[in-house]
Structure 1
Amino acid sequence: MQLDTFLTDPEAGWSMGSFGAICEFHHVAGDPMPAAGPGCRMVTARGGIRLDRLEEVRPVAWEALSRDATRWQQGVSLCLPEGGYAMATRDVLTELGPDDGALRDTDRGAILFDLGLAQAQVDFCIRTNDPDLIAVLRGALGTSVFAPGCPAMPAILSRHPARIALSRIGRIEVYQKIGGPETGGASPIGPHTHLLPQLMRSGRTHSANTPIPAGWIPVAGLHPASAVSDPLGQPRAFDRARFDAFAALLDQWGDPETLAVKTATRDALARRIAPEDFTPPGDRFGRVALRVALRQAARTNPSALLDRYRQTFDKTEEGAEGG
């Protein structure tokens, strides 16, 4: 399976950024299919993505818990080695000049500004040809956009420029409005951005719930179609074809130890081993794999024995481990 094949899957989503500063690209049902460009790129009226250097990427397929005890989460983190992922890590607002790498020809004269978020694996930028916004930003160059009295962020939030995530493997561009009063307080469907200073201050490169191998750093993410959730995150009737498709990705790109936990769980259920005679894994990700396997078994092969396993190892009142 090649990563670029997912660019033409209307239910696959993509993300690029860090823990707290991220751009997401999704196709919106009913919109025209994204227009393919040279190389690995897709563009819509709402946003776009370009992927480079995929031959250097290590895909890591993973599953995690959902707060909804009938569902689980999944994804593929696109990782680079620790020595090859870092971006500029600017910590002040910086003008970068015309965006010659813009996905659309019409945007290549617009000015790119790095917001100076000091995130290791992404330069989080905005792009604009609005002369009034450019004047405000140029007046704030060299300062933090979060500094008291800095006019940059209020101007950005009111004028909704394009947001650009730049990483070592490409870029995602978002053209839609920034979530806020003009969008009903929520991010718009399709391409959108999240900027969460409290998460950025943690200094983490990724969520603790994502099992990234030592020595690797995620710089982007692929979000294949889910068997239990639609692209907006709402529950859907279980889809066996989507379930099997992601299982194939786990076999190709997943962690062998957590896959072994899922295999042992399915085997114990098939052999009708009592839950009190089953030894659960002792590590965090192993426990997650056990609980995910039980939730998946509830969709594929429910039984009274499975109910006992879930009561023992996946009590719904515990919620999702780590959120």
Structure 2
Amino acid sequence: MGPMSMSERPDLDGVAELVAGALANPEATWTLGGFGALARFSRTGDEAATPLASGRLGLVTSRGGIALDPAGAIPVAYETAFAGGWSHAVALCRPATLHPRPGSRPIAEAGRDPDALRPENLGDNWFDLGLDLPQGRLRLRSANADALKILRAAVGRDLRDDPGFWRDLDAIPMVDHVVITPLGRIEIFGGSASASDGPRVFLVPKMLALGRTHPATATIPAGLLPVALLVPPHPCGSPERAFDPARHAAFQAILARWGAPDLVALKARLAAGEAPATGTTNRITRNIARVVRLQAEAMTIRYGTKF
């Protein structure tokens, strides 16, 4: 799987359609950020969601919000096998050359937020955590006087020197968490419950310090940097849920359009019963073979037949 040339960039209409369709689906999940530091936006099916004003592409709920600007994004769809199942995702990537590492810096006050998703947050003070994250920045935002006093006391501290300090920052009430990238932003509003089904920030300084841009299991072509990640509904959403052929077909269509062509072709050959060519097996091909096997088992066991 070699580097993707600029001539292989997908059409903007197709990317916008992919993003808009996923935003309209309450069972789809989004993340923005990178390895060790990211924000997740998700919502429940009965949770009220309001489109953003001024034509921005995105949504706001009572717990958080997301805005996306997919122009120039390069979607890469892939599947990953793990013990007992498989996952799938679409990474929205940009050329890695556009994203040099900023280097770690101390926490700093960064002025006021001019692009907040809610009108009431426009102009709120925010603070940059100084993370060495090539995809974007993670900031804390507030207009609350007590919260601002605590945040200003943290200015100059470095999370590299005291990774555990993040727990203190994360616990400050009345503080919003904001991840901003060239492809958009996710905001988690202060006071929101850290429920498993809602928007959350994940920051693991030890993982961030490894310097990786994405997990090794994500088959991202060389030269691309994943900035946003879309996780469409899975055909086996939970252990007690029967295999959903419509969900499976929906992602297979996404994979056929946005997956690495050589890997999509390999999966088709393996699914048809063809053995891998001698001497071609590696971590990627073994992963695809496991996905093919797991999906065949799921179709049989959960749905009762193969397709």
Fold agreement, TM-score > 0.5? yes
3-state DSSP of counterpart to 2:177: strand
The unaligned stretches of length 5 or more in structure 1 are 270-274, 303-323
1:16 aligns with 2:32: yes
> Percent identity, aligned pairs only?
32
Contact 1:128 1:162 in 2 (8 A): yes
**Is 1:258 matched up with 2:263?**
yes
Q: Tell me by how many angstroms 1:142 deviates.
A: 2.4
Say if 1:136 and 1:152, in contact at 8 Å, map to a contact too.
Answer: no
Question: In 2, are the aligned partners of 1:144 and 1:150 still within 8 Å (CA)?
Answer: no
Larger Rg over CA atoms: 1
Aligned to 2:223: 215
Following TM superposition, where does structure 1 have runs of at least 4 consecutive aligned residues deviating by more than 4 angstroms? 86-90, 148-153, 277-281
> What is the aligned-residue RMSD (CA, Å)?
2.6
2:168 corresponds to 1:154: yes
Tell me which residue corresponds to 2:4.
none
| 1:1-323 paired onto structure 2 within 5 Å | 1=14, 2=17, 3-37=19-53, 38-52=55-69, 54-67=70-83, 69=84, 71-86=85-100, 88-89=102-103, 91-145=105-159, 147-148=161-162, 154-159=168-173, 161-175=175-189, 177=191, 187-229=195-237, 236-268=241-273, 281-300=280-299
Supply the AA of the counterpart residue of 1:189.
D
Tell me the CA shift for residue 158 of structure 1.
3.7
In structure 1, distance between residues paired with 2:159 and 2:196: 23
Amino acid at match of 1:285: I
Shift in alpha-carbon separation, 1:65–1:34, aligned structure 2, 3 A:
farther
Aligned equivalents of 1:261, 1:197: Cα separation in 2: 37
CA distance in 2, matches of 1:220, 1:57: 9
Could you tell me which amino acid in structure 1 is paired with residue 273 of structure 2? A
TM value normalised by structure 2: 0.84
Residue of structure 2 equivalent to 1:272? none
Matches of 2:225 and 2:163 in 1, distance apart? 35
CA distance in 2, matches of 1:253, 1:289: 16
Displacement of 1:148 after TM fit?
A: 4.5
Unaligned runs of 5+ residues in structure 2 are: 1-13, 302-307
With over 3 angstroms needed to count, the CA separation of the structure-2 counterparts of 1:117 and 1:290, relative to structure 1, is: same
Question: Does the CA contact (< 8 Å) of 1:89 and 1:123 recur in 2?
Answer: no
**Partners of 2:185 and 2:137 in 1: how far apart?**
10
**For residues 279 and 5 of structure 1, do their structure 2 counterparts lie closer, same or farther at Cα, with a shift above 3 Å needed?**
same
Change (3 A) 1:235 1:130: farther
Instruction: Output the CA distance in 1 between the equivalents of 2:23 and 2:88.
Output: 17
Q: Which AA in structure 1 matches 2:66? A: I
TM-aligned CA distance change 1:114 to 1:228, over 3 Å: same
Measured after TM superposition, the shift of residue 189 of structure 1 is 2.1
- Alpha carbons of 1:162 and 1:18: their partners in 2 closer, same or farther (altered >3 Å)? same
Normalising by structure 1, we get a TM-score of 0.80
Shift of 1:6: 1.3
Structure 1 residues 129, 150: closer, same or farther in 2, change over 3 A?
A: farther
8 Å Cα contact 1:35-1:44 kept in structure 2: no
